[in-house]
Structure 1
C-alpha cells in the first residue's frame, strides 16, 4: 500500500493507478521529494523536480521505462533544481516551469507554464495551477484519475499543516493563501491527494478545516 513515506537516498514508494504509475523518492540534504510519473499505456515518463542527487534520479527513471520525456520544475528555488542540468543533459528530456520562474533555472525552459495550461506526455494530461507567493512562478500539477480522485503535486506551495514559506524577501502570504484557496480548495474535492515538495503527503479533506487558522496566523 502506498503511504508516501520516503527518506533521502532510500527506496521509492509506488502508487499504481489504472493509467498511471506514481513513484516518489526523496533526495538531498533538504529531503526534497521527486516524483516520476509513468504512463501505463505508452511508457512515457515525466519527472517533477530534479532536485538533487542525479544518480538517485537516474535510478528512479530505471524503475519505470528508463526514458524521460519531460522534467517539470515546480519553482526556481535552488534545492529544487540542483540535479536539473545533469538529468536533462543525460536524458535529452524537454523542460517546463512556471513562466515567471523560468529564467532563473539552470537550463533553458522549453515550455513556460501559466494558469490553465495543460502538460501532456504520452496519453497523460496534467492541469497546471499557478500558485503565486512562494515564488512568482510556482506551479502545481493536477492529474484527474478517470477511475478515482485527483492527484495534486504542489511543490512548496501547499504542505500538511499550511502553505509554503512566505517570510523571505519577494514572497507574499496574501497572494499564496488566495491562490491556494481559489485555485485548489475551491476547485478540488476532499479526496484529492496532495504530494508536496518535502515530507509526507496529505489530502485536501485533512487540510480544509484549517484554512481559517492559516489565514489568521499569516503563514
Structure 2
C-alpha cells in the first residue's frame, strides 16, 4: 500500500491539484479512505481512490478553489460530504452537494480511527481543521487555509483576524505539542513547534 504511515494504521497521500496548487489529502485505513478537500482535477482524485471504499469527503472551507471537484467525486463514489456548519449551505449552493454539518466536538470515522473536527472562525465563518491523534506517532492537523507556515490564513477584517488567531492559538497551539505536524491547504507542511515562537509577531503585524 502506498502513502506515508502516520500512525494508528493510517497512511497519507498528498496531491497538489488545480491552478492554485491546492493540497488534496487522502487518508487510508485498510480498504477505507477519506478525502480532505476535493479541490480540483476530479479524474486525478478518482484515480487516487480507485478500488478503495471512500467513506467521506471533507471540505475544510467554502472558498471555490477547495471544492471544484467535490460534486464529481461524490457523484462517482456515493461518499458523504462533510463541512463546517457555518459554511455548509454556501458549499451546497456552489456545488449542489448536500453536506453533513460538523463542528467542534464532532468526529469523522475512518475505519476504527476517529478524526477530531475543530472549528476555526476567521478565514471563513465555517473553516474546520481535522486532527489525527495516534498513540504511536506525532499528532497531525489538516488545517485548510486557517494555518500555514508563517501565519494564519487571509482575513479581510481586523475582527476576523483576531477571531482566527485566537481560535488557532486556543484550539491548536494550546492543545497540541510542538511535534504536531500541520498540513495546510496549500504548500508544504510545518510543525506547531516551528510556528509557535512567532504567535506574538503575527498578532503584532495583524495578518
TM-score range, shorter chain: over 0.9
- What are the within-5 Å matches in structure 2 for residues 133-144 of structure 1? 133-144=122-133
Aligned partners of 1:75, 1:205: CA distance in 2, in Å? 25
Report whether the alignment pairs 1:34 with 2:11.
no
Q: How many residues align?
A: 202
RMSD: 1.5
Per the TM alignment, residue 170 of structure 1 is displaced from its structure 2 partner at its CA by 10
CA contact (8 A) 1:48 1:71 kept: yes
CA contact (8 A) 1:150 1:188 kept: yes
Gapped regions of structure 1 (runs ≥ 5): 1-12
2:188 partner SS: coil
2:177 alignment partner, one of 189, 201, 206:
189
Runs of 4+ in 1 over 2 A off after TM superposition: 107-110
Q: Which residue is equivalent to 2:102?
A: 113
Per the TM alignment, residue 124 of structure 1 is displaced from its structure 2 partner at its CA by 1.4
Q: Which residue is equivalent to 2:12?
A: 22
Per the TM alignment, residue 90 of structure 1 is displaced from its structure 2 partner at its CA by 0.4
Report whether the alignment pairs 1:49 with 2:37.
yes
Superposed CA deviations along residues 129-175 of structure 1, whole A, max 9, x for unmatched, are 100000000000000012011110000000000000002x7971000
2:141 partner SS: strand
Aligned partners of 1:152, 1:25: CA distance in 2, in Å? 16
Note closer, same or farther for the CA distance 1:170–1:103 as it changes in structure 2 (3 Å cut): farther
Gapped regions of structure 2 (runs ≥ 5): none
Scaled by the length of structure 1, the TM-score of the pair is 0.88
